């Protein structure tokens, strides 16, 4: 275990019964989880290598209950770890022994859909996909689509400013969020933004989005919904050289085309995914692109024709333009099974960094070298249009020390992202995973300024306290 | 007024640190084309980005551009155009409306979150702003965000800086995500609609799958003169197809003409800049943001109380209102309407005296103001950066 947690506060641990009793007065008995067996389900999230049993878990049903719980926690000096569905890959929802977990998953209703103004008003515990499902009958959808969209909540998406495969065209959460109801640690309920396009005053909504549960608990959200395109179809392009695939991405964008998705897979990823999904991927290339465009059939044909012509000078070894829904599904099936398929051949950690796309060939070469230097394998599947990399660093957890090697390789890869002008995380968040790497991207003054802003909302540093900012160098709250 | 012109970021940091030590308030500006906006303040010294110029990074294939804050917006726009790209949010130019001269800067675009009609499709300036460097009120150089469009590393101070009107920091460099310039722009024009029908037509168009990039309505005293405008952009084949589909979809609102070329561009520019109100210099101008379908009701309520002219942008979500420059300029009626229907109003153009005595920005809930004050103090503890420009005490 290389990521440190602060020593739990003995005074809080010793007051556990008193704290549980206090919380018990605020919510219904079934909303308070205290037994060890039941708490175990909440001891980790998507970063399963780390786990801590929380003091208790509270699952409130309303903004008022959240308000009462937070006020109680503040008055009693109890730390609070907010949780949506617990799918965070960066450990954003991993508890601490002296903290309660406050889960919003019970607040999962659609409150109102206003198709004319293209806004859905939902409770924060609703899953990402459920929003799209609730508006699909009118042909609408909610655009940001993290891979975990079946399970993850909009609360977690807001906390992490989540993205997904379609963000090149539609933007990430912050570009699709119009307003939130948020509870501050002292129990105050604030409304930020609303059903209109612009907020008044400081852009607090923009600040809250991506703040990883450190500023308050979001209980309701107003999100933009978009009318779905008439259709969408991908083309698959295979290249002998990584450089050619990278240059092709640049040429597509230079030609004025913003595909709705532009996915990149390297040789190991192609092999692993095709073996699992039998997607018909080319097995003799070093790099593969999936380029998807939207519109009417005629528009799609026109656009895919342009893309194939743009790719020509880069000598693609494979060009497969989907002609049917079945072919599209096959192309996507391989890509979408990447994480599961990799899990069948090895243990892996999924990294998440962003680079300027011009650095792609260089960075991929370096990633390979880094993995090899630790004696590990790596597969790359990522969103090429926006440079958001997801190297899967593979290891064997049955061999002692291999996971630590994978973590070290992952750290080197993230540092490389920063070195070439990118950042430590494009969509998973900092959480605990990248907390100690923050000084690679920000200097002490930058970090202090962020922490000062954080302190405005949570001066006692009780909300998700062990996350985002390095434990070293924090000033006394 | 004493004008301080830092030659680089470090110079700016020293000036601010010195001003903070002496508790000397600074009026932050670029070239001053929007000096007549916000709450007026009586500050002796100006800190200008006028000498902080130059594009520092432009990677067309990565769709990203960085420039020092004092770089003229026109230079950025031209540089992008050479590579067939543009700032997607169509930054508004206030010069005609305010009757000001000089070169608007890219820093002001970020600091004031200046956006235009494509807002409905691509968001505001804040949505494209991906990185900033600035000097905070302590005289420290801070960076937030970067040059990549997906970045969730740490708190998003970039958003906080966007639209903060220089009250939180002196921007030294800004980085924007850009987009390809469309091959073709075409506008559907429907004549003679009343406000309600126009907004219904715009909402139908915006709720269609046909990627409308701007939607506006210009009422007229004789309804026949009213014009409802819907803009499509993209590759020519696609624009043709979508024009046809939209015409069919909007048939019940009457026949539609198609505008292209310079005439159409001029219309959208006039809407973007609200220059429709430019020759009514004696009148106050308000900018109101509300849910699009509420626009006509909001306007009707205001017009019951005061005489006003108006037009709608963003399919009705943005209402521009011109009111007589007398009494409260319509403030009471407008604020009553925004608080009843949701949304907020900004007094964009009015004499200094009026902007001193009236709220320029929508008053906010006390809890939100408390957070805003806290944020101001965390970035500018001495309160020297554009104090009072947005709200009293901020």
CB A380 within 8 A of CB A272: no
Report d(CA B328, CA A433) in Å as an integer.
55
Residues of chain B contacting A467 with CB distance shorter than 8 Å: none
**Alpha carbons A398 and A465: distance in angstroms, whole number:** 32
Mapped onto helix, strand or coil, the DSSP state of residue A423 is: strand
Q: pLDDT tens digits for A208-239? A: 999 999 999 999 999 999 999 999 999 999 99
Burial of residue A211 (number of CB atoms within 10 Å: 0-12, 13-18, 19+): buried
Instruction: Name the closest residue on chain B to residue A192, using Cα atoms.
Output: B368
Residue-level pLDDT, tens digit, chain B, 394 residues: 799 999 999 999 999 999 999 999 999 999 999 999 999 988 989 999 999 999 999 999 999 999 999 999 999 999 999 999 999 999 999 999 999 999 999 999 999 999 999 999 999 999 999 999 999 999 999 999 999 999 999 999 999 999 999 999 999 999 999 999 999 999 999 999 999 999 999 999 999 999 999 999 999 988 889 999 999 999 999 999 999 999 999 999 999 999 999 999 999 999 999 999 987 668 999 999 999 999 999 999 999 999 999 999 988 899 999 999 999 999 999 999 999 999 999 999 999 999 999 999 999 999 999 999 999 999 999 999 999 999 999 9
Please give the Cα distance from A352 to A373 (Å, whole number): 20
* A459: nearest Cα among A96, A203, A99, A214: A214
8 Å CB contact of A356 and B372:
no
d(C-alpha A213, C-alpha A466), whole Å: 11
* Facing residue for A210 by CB, picked from B156, B238, B362: B156
Question: How far, in Å, CA of A123 to CA of A153, rounded?
Answer: 10
Mutation pick from B116, B129, B155 vs chain A, by most beta carbons of A within 10 Å, is: B155
Any CB–CB contact under 8 A between B293 and chain A? yes
Put simply, whether B281 touches A (Cβ < 8 Å) is: no
User: Tell me, what's the pLDDT at A326?
Assistant: 93
Q: Give mean pLDDT, residues A310-339.
A: 94
Place of tokens 């999100």: A223
Q: How confident is the model at residue A337 (pLDDT cuts 50, 70, 90)?
A: confident
* Torsion over CA: B252, B255, B261, B262 (sign): negative
Question: B360 is written with which tokens?
Answer: 């320029």
CB B16 within 8 Å of CB B137:
yes
> DSSP label at A161?
T
pTM of this structure? 0.97
Q: Do A197 and B149 make contact, defined as CB atoms within 8 angstroms? A: no
User: Is there a contact between A179 and A193 (Cβ–Cβ < 8 Å)?
Assistant: yes
Nearest CA in chain B to A232: B209
Contact across the interface for A196 and B203, Cβ inside 8 Å: no
Contact (CB, 8 A) for A183 and A123: no
The pLDDT tens digits for B39-89 are 998 898 999 999 999 999 999 999 999 999 999 999 999 999 999 999 999
How far is residue B352's CA from residue B36's CA, in Å, rounded to a whole number? 7
Task: Supply angle C-alpha A86, A88, A94, rounded to 5.
Answer: 65
Please count the residue pairs, one from chain A and one from chain B, whose beta carbons lie less than 8 angstroms apart. 258
**Helices and strands, counts by H and E, chain A:** 18, 20
| pLDDT at residue B280 in the model | 62
B136 to A163: CB separation less than 8 angstroms, yes or no = no
pLDDT tens sequence across B173-232: 999 999 999 999 999 999 999 999 999 999 999 999 999 999 999 999 888 899 999 999
Q: How many CB atoms lie within 10 A of CB A232?
A: 17
* Cβ separation A206–B140 shorter than 8 A: no
Contact list, B177 vs chain A (CB under 8 Å): none
With beta carbons under 8 A apart, name residues in chain A contacting B287: none
Q: Do A196 and B289 touch (CB under 8 A)?
A: yes
Determine the straight-line distance between the first and last CA of chain B, rounded to whole angstroms.
Answer: 22
Query: For A233, how many CA atoms within 13 A lie in the half-sphere containing its CB?
Result: 23
Q: What is the per-residue pLDDT for A477?
A: 44
- Closest C-alpha to A320, from A375, A270, A257, A392: A270
In this prediction, residue A473 has a pLDDT band, given cuts at 50, 70 and 90, of: confident
pLDDT for B384 equals 98
Residue B138 has which token pair? 């302590």
Count of residues in chain B: 394
Question: Do the chains contact at A211 and B156, CB–CB below 8 Å?
Answer: yes
> The tokens of A418 are what?
């920063």
List residues bridging with B284 in a β-sheet: B323
Average pLDDT of chain A is 95
Selecting from B156, B207, B343 the residue whose C-beta is nearest the C-beta of A118 gives B207
pLDDT of residue A197: 86
Considering only CB atoms, A425 lies closest to which of B153, B159, B168, namely B153
pLDDT band at residue A475 under the 50/70/90 scheme: low
CB within 8 Å of B322: residues ≥ 6 apart? B277, B280, B283, B284, B285, B286, B308, B309, B310
**Own/partner pairs for A144-152, CB < 8 Å, 24+ apart?**
A144/A170, A144/A171, A144/A172, A144/A173, A144/A176, A146/A427, A147/A336, A147/A339, A148/A46, A148/A85, A148/A87, A151/A85, A151/A87, A151/A127, A152/A84, A152/A85, A152/A87, A152/A127, A152/A128
Q: In this predicted structure, what is the pLDDT of residue A474?
A: 81
- Chain A residues in contact with B368 (beta carbon < 8 A): 190-192, 201, 204
Burial of A269 (0-12, 13-18, 19+ CB in 10 A): buried
- What value, to the nearest 5°, has the Cα angle with vertex A446 and ends A367 and B390? 130
Nearest to B291 among A196, A387, A468 (CB): A196
Q: Is A459 within 8 Å of chain B by CB? A: no
| Residue A48 CB neighbour total at 10 angstroms | 11
Beta bridge partners of A353: A389
The partner residue sitting opposite A299, judged by closest CB among B64, B127, B237, is B237
Q: Which of residues 109-168 of B touch A (CB under 8 A)?
A: 113, 119-120, 123-124, 126-127, 136, 140-144, 146-160, 162-164, 168
**B378: nearest CB among A188, A424, A452:** A452
B338 touches chain A (CB under 8 A): no
Which of A192, A196, A355 is the closest to B290 by Cβ?
A196
A228 touches chain B (CB under 8 A): yes
Q: Please tell me if residue A187 touches chain B, with a CB cutoff of 8 Å.
A: no
CB contact under 8 A, B84 and A303: no
Contact B156 A258 (CB under 8 A): no
ipTM of the complex as predicted: 0.97
Query: Does residue B244 belong to the interface with chain A, where contact is any CB pair within 8 Å?
Result: no
**Ordered DSSP codes for B263-285:** HHHHHHHHHHHTGGGTT-TTEEE
**Which residues have a Cβ under 8 Å from the Cβ of A252 and sit 6 or more positions away?**
A259, A262, A291, A307, A310, A311
Mark yes or no for CB contact B120/A197 under 8 Å: yes
Of B225, B226, B394, the C-alpha closest to B296 is B226
On whether any CB of chain B is under 8 Å from the CB of A164, the answer is no
**Cβ within 8 Å, pair A299-B317:** no
């Amino acid at each position: 275990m290389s990521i440190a947690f602060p020593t739990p506060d003995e005074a809080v641990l010793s007051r556990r019964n008193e704290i549980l009793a206090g919380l018990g007065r605020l919510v219904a008995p079934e909303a308070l989880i205290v037994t060890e067996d039941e708490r175990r389900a909440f001891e980790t999230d998507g970063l399963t290598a780390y786990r801590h049993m929380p003091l208790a878990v509270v699952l409130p049903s309303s903004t008022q209950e959240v308000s009462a719980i937070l006020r109680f926690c503040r008055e009693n000096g109890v730390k609070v770890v907010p949780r949506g569905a617990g799918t965070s890959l960066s450990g954003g929802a991993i508890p601490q022994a002296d903290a309660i977990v406050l889960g919003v998953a019970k607040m999962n209703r659609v409150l109102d859909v206003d198709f004319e103004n293209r806004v859905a008003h939902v409770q924060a515990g609703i899953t990402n996909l459920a929003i799209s499902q609730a508006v699909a009958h009118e042909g609408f959808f909610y655009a940001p689509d993290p891979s975990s969209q079946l399970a993850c909540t909009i609360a977690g998406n807001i906390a992490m400013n989540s993205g997904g495969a379609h963000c090149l065209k539609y933007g990430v959460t912050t570009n699709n969020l119009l307003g939130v109801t948020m509870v501050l640690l002292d129990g105050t309920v604030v409304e930020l933004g609303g059903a209109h396009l612009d907020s008044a005053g400081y852009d607090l909504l923009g600040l809250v989005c991506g703040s990883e549960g450190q500023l308050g608990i979001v209980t309701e959200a107003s999100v933009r919904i978009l009318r779905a395109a008439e259709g969408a179809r991908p083309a698959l392009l295979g290249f002998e050289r990584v450089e050619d695939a990278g240059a092709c991405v640049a040429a597509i964008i230079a030609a004025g085309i913003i595909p709705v998705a532009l996915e990149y897979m390297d040789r190991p990823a192609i092999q692993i995914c095709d073996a699992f999904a039998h997607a018909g991927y080319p097995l003799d290339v070093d790099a593969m692109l999936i380029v998807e465009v939207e519109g009417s059939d005629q528009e799609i044909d026109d656009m895919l024709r342009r893309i194939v012509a743009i790719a020509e000078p880069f000598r693609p070894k494979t060009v497969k333009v989907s002609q049917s829904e079945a072919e599209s599904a096959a192309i996507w099936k391989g890509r979408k099974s990447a994480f599961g398929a990799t899990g069948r051949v090895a243990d892996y950690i999924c990294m998440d960094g962003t680079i300027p796309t011009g650095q792609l060939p260089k960075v991929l070469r370096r990633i390979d070298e880094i993995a090899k230097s630790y004696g590990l394998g790596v597969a790359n599947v990522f969103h090429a249009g926006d440079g958001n990399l997801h190297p899967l660093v593979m290891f064997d957890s049955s061999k002692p020390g291999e996971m630590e090697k994978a973590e070290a390789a992952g750290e080197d890869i993230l540092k490389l992202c920063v070195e070439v002008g990118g950042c430590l995380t494009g969509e998973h968040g900092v959480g605990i995973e990248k907390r100690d790497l923050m000084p690679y991207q920000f200097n002490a003054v930058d970090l202090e300024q962020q922490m000062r802003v954080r302190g405005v909302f949570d001066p006692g540093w009780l909300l998700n306290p062990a996350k985002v900012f390095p434990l070293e160098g924090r000033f006394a709250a | 007024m004493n004008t301080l012109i830092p030659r680089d970021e470090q110079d700016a940091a020293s000036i601010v640190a010195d001003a903070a030590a002496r508790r000397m308030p600074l009026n932050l500006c670029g070239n001053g084309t929007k000096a007549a906006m916000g709450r007026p303040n009586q500050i002796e010294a100006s800190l200008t980005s006028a000498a902080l110029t130059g594009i520092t990074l432009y990677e067309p294939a990565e769709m990203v551009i960085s420039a020092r804050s004092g770089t003229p917006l026109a230079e950025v726009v031209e540089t992008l155009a050479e590579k067939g790209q543009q700032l997607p949010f169509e930054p508004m130019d206030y010069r005609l409306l305010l009757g000001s001269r000089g070169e608007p800067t890219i820093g002001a675009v970020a600091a004031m979150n200046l956006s235009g009609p494509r807002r409905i499709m691509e968001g505001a300036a804040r949505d494209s702003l991906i990185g900033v460097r600035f000097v905070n009120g302590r005289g420290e150089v801070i960076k937030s965000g970067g040059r990549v469009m997906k970045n969730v590393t740490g708190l998003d101070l970039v958003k906080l800086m966007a639209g903060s009107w220089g009250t939180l920091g002196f921007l030294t460099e800004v980085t924007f995500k850009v987009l390809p310039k469309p091959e073709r722009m075409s506008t559907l024009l429907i004549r003679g609609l009343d406000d309600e029908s126009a907004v219904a037509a715009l909402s139908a168009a915006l709720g269609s799958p046909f990627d409308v990039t701007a939607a506006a309505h210009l009422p007229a005293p004789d309804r026949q003169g009213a014009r409802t405008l819907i803009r499509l952009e993209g590759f020519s084949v696609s624009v043709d197809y979508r024009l046809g589909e939209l015409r069919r979809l909007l048939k019940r609102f009457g026949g539609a003409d198609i505008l292209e070329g310079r005439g159409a561009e001029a219309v959208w520019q006039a809407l973007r800049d609200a220059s429709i109100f430019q020759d009514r210099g004696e009148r106050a101008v308000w900018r109101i943001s509300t849910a699009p379908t509420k626009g006509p009701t909001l306007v009707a309520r205001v017009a019951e109380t005061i005489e006003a002219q108006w037009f709608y942008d963003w399919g009705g979500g943005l209402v521009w209102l011109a009111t007589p420059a007398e009494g409260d300029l319509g403030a009471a009626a407008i604020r009553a309407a925004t608080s009843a229907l949701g949304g907020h109003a900004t007094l964009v153009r009015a004499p200094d005296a009026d902007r001193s005595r009236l709220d320029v920005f929508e008053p906010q809930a006390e809890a939100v103001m408390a957070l805003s004050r806290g944020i101001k103090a965390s970035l500018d503890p001495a309160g020297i950066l554009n104090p009072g420009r947005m709200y009293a005490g901020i």
